[in-house]
Structure 1
Amino acid sequence: MEDALLLNQTSLVTHFHLVGLSANQKVQMFIFAVFLVFYVLTLIGNTLIVITIIYDHRLHTPMYFFLSNLSFIDICHSTVTVPRMLVDTWSEEKLISFDACATQIFFLHLFACTEIFLLTVMAYDRYVAICKPLQYMTVMNWKVCVILAVGFWSGGTIHSIAMTANTLNLPYCGPDVIDSYFCDAPQVVKLACTDTHIIEILIISNSGLISMACFVVIVVSYAVILVSLRQQFSEGRRKALSTCAAHLTVVTLFLGHCIFIYSRPSTSFPEDKVVSAFFTAVTPLLNPMIYTLRNEDVKNALNKLMGRKEKKEEK
Structure 2
Amino acid sequence: MISDLNHADSCGATPLDWAALVTNAVTVLLSWWAFEVPKLFRNGGIRQYWNAISWGCLRLCMPSVAAITAVSSTSDRKAWLKRYYYGLSPDGAEERLTKIQSLKSGLTDALVIVSTVSSLYTLHSTPESQLSGWNSSLWSFPSCPAAIYGIWISLASRTKLTPGWTLGLGLLWACAIGAGVGYAVSQIKGSYAIGTIGCYVAIALPWGYISFLGPLMLVTLVITVFARIGGVAAGALSPDAYFPFCALKGPALAAPYIAMGGITGVLSLFAFFRSLMAVAGGKERRVQQSRGVVVDG
| TM-score normalised according to structure 2 size | 0.41
Q: TM-score, normalised by structure 1?
A: 0.39
Find the structure with the greater CA-based Rg.
Answer: 1
